[in-house]
A and B are shown apart, each in its own frame.
Chain A
Amino acid sequence: MDERLRRFLFPSPTPAYLLRVVLVALGAYGFFGFVCTPFVIRGKSMESTYHDGGFDFLWKPHYLYSKPKRGDVVAIRLAGADVVYLKRIVALAGQTVAFSNGVLIVDGKPVEEPYVKGPCHWNLPPRKVEPDHVYVVGDNRSMPMEQHDFGQVSLRRIIGVPLW
């Protein structure tokens, strides 16, 4: 075996090499543990944009210098960050949101939602989103409204966005 290849594949455990290994391990732990966390999607509430069993990364610094806006898909923490909801923001604080025969109505105007693929017949009376909250809904509106978790959520619970 070529000497350079051998040294690359089987490096000597010199102090400098061990330091590099430790730094890479710490960097990977910090990056994938706190900045860009891998996650698996469980559930069908975001079909057909995100599929059950799909894999993605949660990009946490997304809202460091910007605010959540309508149309964003966001991760919402529950008791911690191990299990999160993945939902789409459909209305912001102060706006009025409703559903009429499956059509999303924001501030009295129907909203076109190209990401909603299946048929939807939801009806929900108008309600105003409280300050420091956003209104989130999953993209899968074909499932019965009673089985779908949606509603207004505090901005403090939004911890990032999926990377793709």
Chain B
Amino acid sequence: MVTRNKILAGLGILLAAWAIYTFFPTRTRQVKRQFSALSEWVSKEGPESNLALLNEATKADEFFAPQCTWEARKYDLSGTVTPQEVARYYFAARARFNKLTLKFYDLEIRFPERLTARVKATARITGTLTDGDSVSETHEVKCTLHKIHGKWLFGQVTVVEVLER
């Protein structure tokens, strides 16, 4: 009986630990989850209907702050965009790909303020365009996320020029 009680107590502790881990994530895990969700949102496995694409595009406000600043000198991209504008870019860019994968590596997360996260990471984009050409790009990115209404939203994205021509 004692052994059975000990096993039940052990299982209870494990269950409680799992529940705390799952339902009360730390800020770091919340930010990591947001990066994972962004990867899933961007990636596509194969052709998709315009309706599905449109439906996905409307989720831009789940990832981006009302004003998100972009800076990528390599692509002559700089400025501030709204989630609606991101959705339009998402729709146009994604339609050009048959397959697309975005993955983040080496996430380094800091919290200079309670509701602000600064993240340094390596982003790798691979895919196949509709004309059959392959795309493979790797960049270091610096992002600032703000916690707005309980969600960590991207407020700034900068592509770091590791190699300067």
Binding site for B on A (CB under 8 A): 42-43, 76, 78-83, 85, 87, 124, 127, 136, 149-153, 157
Contact = CB atoms under 8 A, between A and B. Distances in A.
A153 B164 CA distance: 7
B108 A80 contact: yes
Contact of B122 (A42, A78, A150, A157): A78
Interface string B98-122: 0000000111100000000000111
B138 interface: yes
Contact of A83 (B106, B120, B165): B106
Contact of B163 (A80, A81, A82, A85): A85
Residue among A80, A87, A124 with the most chain B CB within 10 A?
A: A80
Given A79-B105, A83-B122, A43 B136 contact: yes
Contacts of A76: 162-163
Contact of B138 (A85, A150, A151, A157): A85
A74 B161 CA distance: 18
A148 to B, nearest CB: 10
Contacts of A42: 136
A126 B137 CA distance: 26
A139 B105 CA distance: 25
Of the four ranges (under 10, 10 to 19, 20 to 34, 35 or more), the interface on chain B belongs to: 10 to 19
Nearest to A127: B165
Nearest to A136: B163
B105 A83 contact: yes
Interface of B: 105-108, 120-122, 124, 136, 138-141, 160-165
A79 B136 contact: no
A28 B123 CA distance: 29
Given A83-B105, A83-B106, A83-B124, A78 B165 contact: no
A157 B162 contact: yes
Given A42-B136, A43-B136, A82 B122 contact: yes
Contacts of B162: 76, 78, 85, 153, 157
A80 B164 contact: no
Nearest to B164: A151
A124 to B, nearest CB: 7
B105 A82 contact: yes
B127 to A, nearest CB: 13
A81 B105 CA distance: 9
A151 B165 CA distance: 4
A79 B112 CA distance: 19
A150 B163 contact: yes
Nearest to A149: B163
